Amino acid sequence: MSSTEVAVKTEIKARLIPVYIMGKKYEVPETLTIMKAIEYAGYKYIRGCGCRGGVCGACSTVYRKPGDYKIHVGLACQTVVEPDMYLTQIPFYPALRGTYDFTELTGKPEEIFEIYPELFRCVACNACTKVCPMDVQVMDYIAALKQGDIQKAAELSFDCIQCGLCASRCMGELPQYHIAQLARRISGAYLTPRAEHLKTMVANIETGRFNEGLDKLKAMDENTLKKTYQEREMEPATAGEDWAPKDNQYL
């Protein structure tokens, strides 16, 4: 089989469908993601494209389908094209980000109210939740923050990728995703309980208990170090609860 034959076969496989990119019609293979289709149509990304893996939130896209009043959303790198879709990418949407000295915060809800008083302009229209490509319950986390429940807001907004589509649709002109980020920061730094065993361990390290062992390792030449590593005592896969290493001087 010659190489030209292979190429012809590939072309037959991928049927071309019409899509409208920013209002202009293009014929693109139906198997492509929106991002690939945009590139196929001849556009070159210098912005609005990041990880290509559905995580970074740079390629949020809104689109409509014929005969359907609803606004649809998706990440361009994750969403496959559909015939006659009208789409545009919204790589960035301006939203006011509050300035604050994080070390001065203590975790009181009033601190969020101070930085983002516009929080109280939410009318619970739910446009934010409807437009979220990550299915975050945006309206619910805003409601939780209005009630002063930072932990709940942090949990509800955990999947947020900061794409900003919520802010683009907001009637109350809120920068939801920035507010949620602050909530998660506060949650992580001030509200989530500290692990007690970690505290004990850090204190232990600070007493210098492990310095001698570390110094010994640091002084080794590369080969000895490798050998020591390979010969280290390992917990067997079948070990029971009561297993303990023979060398227990650091326990």
Partner 1 sequence: MPLEILKTLSDETFKKKVMEISGENFHKCYQCGTCSGSCPMAEHITVLPRRVMAFLQLGNREKLEQSNTPWTCASCHTCQVRCPRGIDIPKVMEALRLLQLRRNINQIEPSSISKKEIVDLPQIAMVSGFRKLTS
Partner 2 sequence: MKISYYPGCTLKTKAKNLERSALACFDALGIEYEELPRWNCCGAVYSLADDDLIHIIAPVRDLIRVKERGLDTVMTLCSMCYNTLARANELMKNNEEKRYTINTFMDEEPDYAGEVRVVHFLDYLRDEIGWDKLKEKIKVPLNDLKVAPYYGCTLLRPREVALDRPDKPTVIRTFLETLGAIVVDFPSATVCCGSYQVLGNPEAALKVSHGILDDAVKNGAEALALACPLCDYNLGFRQDAILNSFTDAKEIPVYYFTQLMAVALGIDPAVSHFELNRESSLQLLRDKKLISGAAS
Residues in the chain: 251
Q: Does residue 139 contact residue 126 with C-beta atoms inside 8 Å?
A: yes
- 20-79 residues in contact with partner 1 (CB under 8 A) are none
> With CB cut-offs between 5 and 8 Å by kind, which of partner 2, partner 1, none does residue 171 bind?
partner 2
Residue 117 binds partner 1, judged by CB under 8 A = yes
Residue 120 binds partner 1, judged by CB under 8 A = yes
Residue 77 has phi, psi (to 5 degrees) of -80, -10
Q: Does residue 19 contact residue 80 with C-beta atoms inside 8 Å?
A: no
Q: One symbol per residue from 147 to 186: x for binding partner 2 (CB under 8 A), - otherwise; what is it?
A: xxx---------------------x---------------
Closest to 72 (Cα-Cα) out of 82, 80, 61: 61
Q: Does residue 175 contact residue 95 with C-beta atoms inside 8 Å?
A: yes
Q: Closest distance between partner 1 and the C-beta of residue 176, in Å?
A: 15
Which range in 1-9, 27-35, 78-86, 140-148 contacts partner 2 by CB under 8 A? 140-148
Burial string for 63-96 (b: 16+ CB within 10 Å, else e) reads bbeeeeeeebbbbbbbbebeeebbbebebebebe
Candidates 124, 189, 217, 239: give the one binding partner 2 (CB under 8 A).
124
Closest to partner 1 by CB, 142 vs 161, is 142
Q: Closest distance between partner 1 and the C-beta of residue 118, in Å?
A: 5
Q: Closest distance between partner 2 and the C-beta of residue 203, in Å?
A: 35
Torsion (CA) 135, 190, 102, 113 in degrees, nearest 10:
60
Residue 148 binds partner 1, judged by CB under 8 A = yes
Total residues in contact with partner 1, by rule CB under 8 A: 10
Q: One symbol per residue from 232 to 251: x for binding partner 2 (CB under 8 A), - otherwise; what is it?
A: --------------------
Q: Which amino acid is at 136?
A: V
Residue 65 binds partner 2, judged by CB under 8 A = no
Side-chain half-sphere CA neighbours of 94 within 13 A: 0
Name the residues that contact partner 2, by CB under 8 A: 109-110, 120, 122-126, 130, 139-140, 143, 146-149, 171
